[in-house]
A and B are shown apart, each in its own frame.
Chain A
Amino acid sequence: MRERLVRRWAREYGLPVLAMAGLIVLWEAVCRSARIPVWLLPSPVAIARDTWQWADRIPGHLWVTFYEIIGGFAVAVLVGVPIAVAIVYSPLLRRVVYPILLVVQSVPKVALAPLFLIWVGYGPRSNILVAAIVAFFPMVVNTATGLESVEPELLQLTDSLQASPLQVFWKVRLPWALPYIFSGMKVAMSLSVIGAVVGEFVGSDKGLGYLILTASSNMNTAIVFGVMLVLSALGIVVFWAVCVAEALVCPWYLPPQGERR
């Protein structure tokens, strides 16, 4: 039984893991044989060694970036969902708010980061704001799409039962939109990671983005790579957290095992 499980795992993941390992070995080999200077392209071993030496400094910065990401994400969700609701329920608001959103969306949001620096000052708060504004748009669009995708017959049914608008919202529209909201959250979370790091690039003395910036200005390329890896791991973890939340909140949405495409 256990042996079969191992074999299945090997068949499923064996090749990609092997390819990845091969690539790392190749990288190491090229760096050593071609004597590429460590500031240009550090070898995997050098990255691991140097990063390990910085290990005590990383957690503090990791924590700052983590809460900037979560803060930006939370603001995007808490502001984006109500705006989407307002847009769906009020044609007037839709006509007023939608063009504004489109204009805001078309501004390269990275360019807003220096502006936030002026408005709310240096530090995590302005980075949260950058993360939030980057993550906010997909939240609004996905939520609005979800609320509007309710099947018309279902609304005819609630009509015929003379359901109140609140009943329709809580019992039909919002749960119906949940899978859409979660797919918006997945995009928002990924964008929030980008926003937080961009914010840190522009102005911060904490966080993984700041760490990358300092390391690169010291030509400490191995650390740049190492922190980048930590950052990717963080990105994967927060994304995965949204996926887990989705599976818990709307289990009905996942196709049953064996039918998964």
Chain B
Amino acid sequence: MIAVRDVSKIFTTRAGDTVVAIENVTLDVGADEFVTIVGASGCGKSTLLKLIGGLIAPTTGQILLRGALVTRPSRDTGMVFQNPVLLPWRSVRDNILFPIEILGWPLREYRTEADRLIGLVGLRGFEHSIPRELSGGMQQRVSICRALIHDPPLLLMDEPFGALDAMTREELGMELLSVWSERRKTVVFVTHSIPEAILLADRVVVMASRPGRIVTSVAIALPRPRALEMEFQKEFEEYSKIIRSAIAAARTRVS
């Protein structure tokens, strides 16, 4: 589905200095695979996501999406950010239908799909509420529905639960999995929470900083459907240990 080939991204600061955001990153993501990218802040994981989304261009290397070179954003991607960034004047339903409106698809046909998604994330009864009437968690649920409404084969999520409290975070993670199991798609999910990365993923990609690079990639063999209780299983703790030590090793190498 996604092939990142030896990609580097170098930013030039206003002062004229160059900053290597990521260096020589190669990553393959299979169709319908759920990949989480974990790493400390500044390791370039958001940059990698933006590169895959075609929002920025790589300095060197190339990115292929279903075999085609990515040169600009594709309508085949749904995006979820750390902030819900809803349109404050639109109701929940109209926010979710926003992509359909932009794409010029028939709104009426997608209204039922919007309401189905609203039900799926537990927001029934809030169809006509506007964002400021919702809690942060509810707003983020709306933004996930918005990313799913046009049923894109690829979902890019940039720390989507980063601004939420721990409990809402777990709840939303499980909801995301149930939505995903019902309508499979490729997901690239950036987070800085190791347990979250393990619980959601088929594969955890570990990144380190200076320069941003992929350190290791850990396949998660936990059975699906996943449950929060799995965090206390032995395998889960093993995965956690492997990832933690990979991050620690990368850190000592720098200093």
B187 to chain A, nearest CB (A): 15
B83 engages A151 (CB within 8 Å): yes
A161 on the B face (CB < 8 A): yes
B54 engages A154 (CB within 8 Å): no
Tell me the complex Cα distance, A252–B129, Å: 10
Q: B102 touches which one: A153, A156, A161 (CB < 8 A)?
A: A161
Q: B75 touches which one: A160, A176, A255 (CB < 8 A)?
A: A160
Given A171-B102, A252-B132, decide whether A159 and B73 contact each other with a Cβ distance below 8 A.
Answer: yes
Q: A153 touches which one: B72, B73, B83, B130 (CB < 8 A)?
A: B83
Specify which chain A residues have a CB less than 8 angstroms from the CB of B72 in the assembled complex.
Answer: 162
A159 engages B55 (CB within 8 Å): yes
Specify which chain A residues have a CB less than 8 angstroms from the CB of B99 in the assembled complex.
Answer: 157, 161
B39 to chain A, nearest CB (A): 20
B167 on the A face (CB < 8 A): no
B81 on the A face (CB < 8 A): yes
Write out, one digit per residue, whether chain B residues 103-131 have a CB within 8 A of any chain A CB (1) or not (0). Answer: 10000000000000000000000000011
Specify which chain A residues have a CB less than 8 angstroms from the CB of B130 in the assembled complex.
Answer: 252
| Chain B contact patch, size range | 20 to 34
B132 engages A160 (CB within 8 Å): no
Q: A160 touches which one: B79, B85, B87, B133 (CB < 8 A)?
A: B79
Specify which chain B residues have a CB less than 8 angstroms from the CB of A162 in the assembled complex.
Answer: 72-73, 75, 102
Q: A157 touches which one: B85, B132, B133 (CB < 8 A)?
A: B85
Given A252-B88, A252-B89, decide whether A160 and B55 contact each other with a Cβ distance below 8 A.
Answer: yes
List residues 135-187 of chain A with CB under 8 A from any CB of chain B: 151, 153-154, 156-163, 167, 171-172, 175-176, 178
A258 on the B face (CB < 8 A): no
Tell me the complex Cα distance, A252–B94, Å: 14
Specify which chain B residues have a CB less than 8 angstroms from the CB of A108 in the assembled complex.
Answer: none
What residue of chain A has the Cβ atom nearest to residue B150's Cβ?
A: A161
Tell me the complex Cα distance, A163–B150, Å: 14
B89 to chain A, nearest CB (A): 4
Tell me the complex Cα distance, A255–B98, Å: 24
B173 on the A face (CB < 8 A): no
A156 to chain B, nearest CB (A): 5
Tell me the complex Cα distance, A176–B50, Å: 24
B173 to chain A, nearest CB (A): 21
Specify which chain B residues have a CB less than 8 angstroms from the CB of A172 in the assembled complex.
Answer: 87
A256 engages B133 (CB within 8 Å): yes
Tell me the complex Cα distance, A157–B55, Å: 9
Tell me the complex Cα distance, A163–B72, Å: 12
List residues 201-259 of chain A with CB under 8 A from any CB of chain B: 250, 252-253, 255-256
A250 engages B89 (CB within 8 Å): yes
Tell me the complex Cα distance, A253–B89, Å: 8
A33 to chain B, nearest CB (A): 56
Given A160-B79, A250-B89, decide whether A256 and B103 contact each other with a Cβ distance below 8 A.
Answer: no
B101 on the A face (CB < 8 A): yes
Tell me the complex Cα distance, A250–B90, Å: 11
What residue of chain A has the Cβ atom nearest to residue B50's Cβ?
A: A156
What residue of chain A has the Cβ atom nearest to residue B84's Cβ?
A: A153
Tell me the complex Cα distance, A161–B78, Å: 9
Tell me the complex Cα distance, A156–B73, Å: 9
Specify which chain B residues have a CB less than 8 angstroms from the CB of A157 in the assembled complex.
Answer: 79, 81, 85, 99
B54 engages A160 (CB within 8 Å): yes
A171 engages B101 (CB within 8 Å): yes
B77 on the A face (CB < 8 A): yes
What residue of chain A has the Cβ atom nearest to residue B147's Cβ?
A: A157
B53 engages A160 (CB within 8 Å): yes
A253 engages B88 (CB within 8 Å): yes
Q: A163 touches which one: B55, B102, B131 (CB < 8 A)?
A: B102
A175 engages B89 (CB within 8 Å): yes
Q: B55 touches which one: A156, A167, A171 (CB < 8 A)?
A: A156
What residue of chain B has the Cβ atom nearest to residue A249's Cβ?
A: B89
B74 on the A face (CB < 8 A): yes
Specify which chain B residues have a CB less than 8 angstroms from the CB of A159 in the assembled complex.
Answer: 55, 73
Residue from A158, A161, A171 with most neighbouring chain B CB atoms (10 Å): A161
Specify which chain A residues have a CB less than 8 angstroms from the CB of B54 in the assembled complex.
Answer: 160
A residues engaging B (CB < 8 A)?
151, 153-154, 156-163, 167, 171-172, 175-176, 178, 250, 252-253, 255-256
B residues engaging A (CB < 8 A)?
50, 53-55, 72-75, 77, 79, 81, 83, 85, 87-89, 98-99, 101-103, 130-133
Provide a sorted-by-A list of 18 A–B residue pairs whose CB atoms are within 8 angstroms: A151-B85, A153-B81, A153-B83, A153-B85, A154-B85, A154-B87, A156-B50, A156-B53, A159-B73, A160-B79, A161-B73, A161-B99, A171-B87, A176-B87, A252-B88, A252-B89, A252-B131, A252-B132
